[in-house]
Chain A
């Protein structure tokens, strides 16, 4: 036990003597939290719109003003013909084109039907479907107004009145959804990289050779490597929660001690994984590359940006091996829904199994040899 304390003392001296370490631990997470929560959003705003108005009538300008009055659309100007609009679409100057045909007003006034063409840049499929839905709803709205105007006596009410209630995030604010996930991301980055770099650094500099001929036991050495980053990552989480509260006004609905207990458990798994990578590589470069590779896959598949449920079946099965997915799910539940242990106990048990296996592997893979 005393040996572990001495190893810890050494590790802490080294961590805080490294001048780049303090900024890495405290500045990087804050920047990540602030930048990512504002930018990692799927909300569509400022859709650049071009209008090709072949009619140039009162009604057609009324429809166009409906678009320009909306917060989603930004009228980027009118094109004379469709060819010109298509060119701007190609240059990505605009995202969407509305084409109003000749005789638009005339047809409507005569009680006939007419056409409006909506062309959307669909490189980003989900954004395109949102844009197209917005455009459709504006046109539908316009349509209804005309019908009411033309037939004032007909009661044009919809048979079912849908009242939507959004729970846990009533204003559908994307930031509220993202922040618990980003908090997970930042403790993961700190934990995984620092642990993956640390042991292999001793190999690269050669200090491991001197350590290996001492009577230090494997588990003591691994514990000494694990605990400092475990503490640092927990402090980072606390720090991130404070920033989330003061900057975004997000409070943890569930129990804070529960959140930190699960974070600690999760960190054991992540740090164990980092140390495992560290024991299997010989240079910091190899270690960095492998942990980066793992992290990119883990994060993309974790449900941070897209729901896990909409991934293919094999991906959902893969996510059993993805600790990030567990903790993002749990963290959102605790922070936003105030869920308790019973609501995610399956995930917690799986994390326990995960942490134990990874740490055991890391300790057995570490050889006191050269």
Chain B
């Protein structure tokens, strides 16, 4: 069972801050939908509006046939929500938390064990441990179990991988993929752009605006301009040294250990010469420039820069 989510011209203001500026988007049934954006871009606000923890100033949200304002009670029954901040009871054990959430949704751990088996089995050996004593990754798995225990049709995960180590992050996404196969609609937000490529479709948000709404492949395909990767002997002060490098170069940003440079209307030879001439007097050696295929992060940074 899964539902679609339709968001139409959604506006939310907090006093003077416009948190969401006329956002419209659709999430299809059974889709793994990613909400990508930096902190403060409006991801959490959007999720809280869907679950009616906040009320919008304007616009509509429909989860299946339910309206978020009128039928929020129905929506809460079919939605599993995992807040960004760990919100389970620290002083209750893993098992007690799970039983409690199962019971208040009128079900039991036993009855729905099969739904959460994949996630829960990983923390089951620690079921007597207090939730507050779990590691970050285990906390997230427990929170996911609790959000799934009532067989939701829509699963909303607010930054589930923030503050979780790289291995646990990978495991967590694998779990989400498995979860999706059971037919549930999943909306997940993350500030990590590399996680975008794991979603079916992503929405890129910034300052309450929707910058892109596409499949990860299309976002990469739509990338205009050329992308170059630069490395030199002195990567520490490279960004400062590249300041004012000259015409044709649009953007310079760090990408892991390297630097990515975007340009338009300029050939490799010319670019290569410009940069080498510019950097060598500043003491850089082994200057290597090569053309690279854009990854989704490059596209996002480009899109965010345009706005």
Q: Which residues from chain A sit less than 8 Å from chain B, CB to CB?
A: 2-3, 6-7, 9-10, 13-14, 17-18, 205-210, 212-216, 368-370
- Interface residue? B88 (CB, 8 A): yes
Residue among B85, B101, B104 with the highest chain A CB neighbour number at 10 A: B104
- Interface residue? B53 (CB, 8 A): yes
Which residues of chain B are within 8 angstroms of A6 by Cβ–Cβ distance?
Answer: 100, 103-104
Residues B104 and A210 in contact, CB atoms below 8 Å apart: no
Residues A215 and B73 in contact, CB atoms below 8 Å apart: yes
Which residues of chain B are within 8 angstroms of A213 by Cβ–Cβ distance?
Answer: 51, 53, 76, 79, 81
- Interface residue? B277 (CB, 8 A): no
Residues A3 and B89 in contact, CB atoms below 8 Å apart: no
- Interface residue? B96 (CB, 8 A): yes
CB-based A-B contact count at 8 angstroms: 67
- Interface residue? B48 (CB, 8 A): yes
Residues A369 and B54 in contact, CB atoms below 8 Å apart: yes
- The CA-CA distance from A209 to B48 in the complex, in Å, is 10
Q: List 17 A-B contacts (CB under 8 A).
A: A13-B96, A14-B91, A14-B92, A206-B86, A207-B87, A207-B89, A209-B85, A210-B81, A210-B87, A210-B88, A213-B51, A213-B76, A213-B81, A214-B76, A215-B105, A368-B53, A369-B52
B70-97 interface code vs A (CB 8 A; 1 in, 0 out):
0001001101010101111111100010
Q: Which among B54, B91, B103 is the interface contact of A370 at CB below 8 angstroms?
A: B54
Other contacts beyond A213-B76, A368-B53: 17, CB < 8 A: A6-B100, A7-B104, A10-B96, A13-B92, A14-B91, A206-B87, A209-B83, A210-B83, A210-B87, A210-B146, A213-B51, A213-B79, A215-B77, A215-B105, A216-B104, A368-B52, A369-B55
Q: Closest residue to A14 on the B side, CB-wise? A: B91
Chain A contact residues, majority secondary structure: helix
A126 to chain B, nearest CB (A): 49
Report, nearest first, the 10 A-B pairs whose CB atoms are least far apart: A210-B87, A6-B103, A213-B81, A206-B85, A209-B83, A370-B53, A206-B87, A213-B51, A209-B87, A10-B100
Q: Closest residue to B81 on the A side, CB-wise? A: A213
- The CA-CA distance from A3 to B96 in the complex, in Å, is 15
Q: Closest residue to A208 on the B side, CB-wise? A: B87
Residues B104 and A214 in contact, CB atoms below 8 Å apart: yes
- The CA-CA distance from A3 to B104 in the complex, in Å, is 6
Which residues of chain B are within 8 angstroms of A3 by Cβ–Cβ distance?
Answer: 103-104, 106
Which residues of chain B are within 8 angstroms of A10 by Cβ–Cβ distance?
Answer: 89, 92, 96, 100
B79 to chain A, nearest CB (A): 7
- The CA-CA distance from A369 to B72 in the complex, in Å, is 11
Q: Closest residue to B86 on the A side, CB-wise? A: A206
Q: Closest residue to A216 on the B side, CB-wise? A: B104
B32-50 interface code vs A (CB 8 A; 1 in, 0 out):
0000000000000000100
Which residues of chain A are within 8 angstroms of B53 by Cβ–Cβ distance?
Answer: 209, 212-213, 368-370
B194 to chain A, nearest CB (A): 27
